[in-house]
Amino acid sequence: MVDYDQIIVHYHEVALKGGNRDLFEKRLKRNIATALRPYGIHSVMRLRGRMIVSLNPNANRPAILEALQRVFGIAYFAPISLAEQRIEAIQRRVLEHLGDRRFTSFKVDTRRSQKSFPMNSMEVNRVIGAAVQAATGARVDLTDPELTIHIEIFDNQAAIFTEKLSGAGGLPVGTGGKAVSLLSSGIDSPVASFKIMKRGIQIIFVHFHSVPYTSVASKDNVERIVEILNQYQYHSRLYLIPFLEYQQRITSVVPAPYRVIMYRRAMLRMAEAVALRHKALALVTGENVAQVASQTLPNMRAINEVASLPILRPLAGDDKIEIIEKAREIGTYEISTAPYEDCCSLFVPGNPETRANLKRVRELDAQLDHDTLVKEAIEAAEVKEFRWFKEEETETA
């Protein structure tokens, strides 16, 4: 790869319909700056539908490329060479950019967003194409070239690049408000959180544990999962909520087949209380229709009714195999498959109800003072903050 001090960042214009453009771009700019801050960048500039990241001379370039791949809202990005906006200067820079690189076929793809430049895109393609052909002996191939030389003309300069890297897509985290995600240390809920984050939502995590009844392993695993997911939103809060007391109250009045449903209702109530505290507007779960007993439609209905906020279930219709693939890609799979005891397997013998009777659920439910139990659980919660970098780690000049 050529030496470079700038990176061009492109995003999908379709995301920008209506009045959201300014919000989207501001947030994207901020998120890029945050994501790259530990690695030595000088600035991020917004220029006509794209951004230019300028690097410090000693910047950690491989780390920067890796971190950019995790910034939601980016369609693609590329290390660039910049040239003055004159055709001779562009030509010289293109040849420098190619260096002694060998290729047998190529095309030039010019985008001109500054119409005051005297040549149109086709003319630039032709002139630069001829120069590259003369210098390298490679032939022009417009349909299946080995190398595409991109030239973008904007803002009184020209950017040249040949290495296009895919971005993560989605929308910049923070543009869509906040949601509370119920995070177990299983495979599904980390993937569900990831998918909603990718739609621009800042996630607050809640995890329910039954320590000391269950070991601390699920708590530790959840913290490791949040650390991984935090790489996409840079600042996360995790509520570790003790659930044992509430669970014991449930088991004292609810027969075994209905306990999982009651646990789930309790979890939603607690998650909603956290959401209200942070002005979050939705809940997120890793539920997947018919995957386990609590996720049949009758049971989902019986669980759902205690929440007033919308519950987002981004995995509802996915196959397990797709979810596992995604978990591997994100890097949470290994942690999720480490052994742990799940709080919901506590006090639950063999056969849970799969077709909950709503009337029965409500009768059982009415025996408990949920408001107080919720309040006590949340007051006893441990809240952990996760930050993408510590101040002393930054290399910024």
Q: List residues near ligand ATP by CB under 6 A.
A: 182-184, 186-189, 206-208, 267, 285-287, 291-292, 294-295, 343-344
Q: Least separation, in Å, of the C-beta of 344 and Mg ion?
A: 7
Residue 342: phi and psi, rounded to 5, are: -90, 135
Instruction: Identify the three-state secondary structure at position 390.
Output: coil
**Shortest distance in whole angstroms from residue 173 CB to ligand ATP:** 19
Which does residue 16 touch among Mg ion, ligand ATP, none (CB within 5 to 8 A, set by kind)?
none
Cβ at position 364, least distance to ligand ATP in Å: 19
- Please list the residues that pair with 384 across neighbouring strands: 238
Partner in contact with 333, chosen from ligand ATP, Mg ion, none, beta carbon below 5 to 8 Å by kind: none
Spatial separation of the C-alpha atoms in residues 392 and 308, rounded to whole Å: 43
| Minimum CB distance to Mg ion smaller for 201 or for 267 | 267
Q: What is the DSSP letter of 142?
A: S
Within 8 A by CB and 6+ apart from 179, the residues are 196, 201, 202, 203, 204, 275, 280, 281, 282, 283, 284, 312
Min. distance of Cβ 186 from Mg ion in angstroms? 3
Report how many helices (DSSP H) and strands (DSSP E) the chain contains, helices first: 13, 15
Longest Cα pair distance anywhere in the chain, in angstroms? 85
Which is nearer to ligand ATP, 28 or 226 (by Cβ)?
Answer: 226
In this structure, what is the dihedral angle of CA atoms 158, 160, 165, 166, given to the nearest 10 degrees?
40
Nearer to Mg ion, 77 or 333 (CB): 333
Residue 284 forms beta bridges with which residues?
181, 312
Contact letters for Mg ion, residues 76-115 (x by CB under 5 A)? ----------------------------------------
Q: Give how far the C-alpha of residue 134 lies from the chain's centroid of Cα atoms, to the nearest Å.
A: 45
Of 184 and 236, which CB lies nearer to ligand ATP in the complex structure? 184
At closest approach, how far in Å is the CB of 172 from ligand ATP?
Answer: 24
**Segment 172 to 231, residues that bind Mg ion, using CB under 5 A:** 184, 186
Shortest CB 251 distance to Mg ion, Å: 19
Q: Which CB atom, from 55 or from 377, has the smaller least distance to ligand ATP?
A: 377
Q: Say how far apart CA 232 and CA 34 lie, in whole Å.
A: 10
How far apart are CB 337 and Mg ion at their closest, in Å? 12
Contact of residue 294 among ligand ATP, Mg ion, none (CB under 5-8 Å per partner type): ligand ATP
- Strand boundaries in 121-230, DSSP class E: 139-140, 147-154, 157-161, 165-166, 178-182, 202-209
The count of residues interacting with Mg ion (CB under 5 A) is 2
The closest residue (CB) to ligand ATP is 186
- Label the pairing between strands 50-55 and 41-47: antiparallel
Residues that bind Mg ion (CB under 5 A): 184, 186
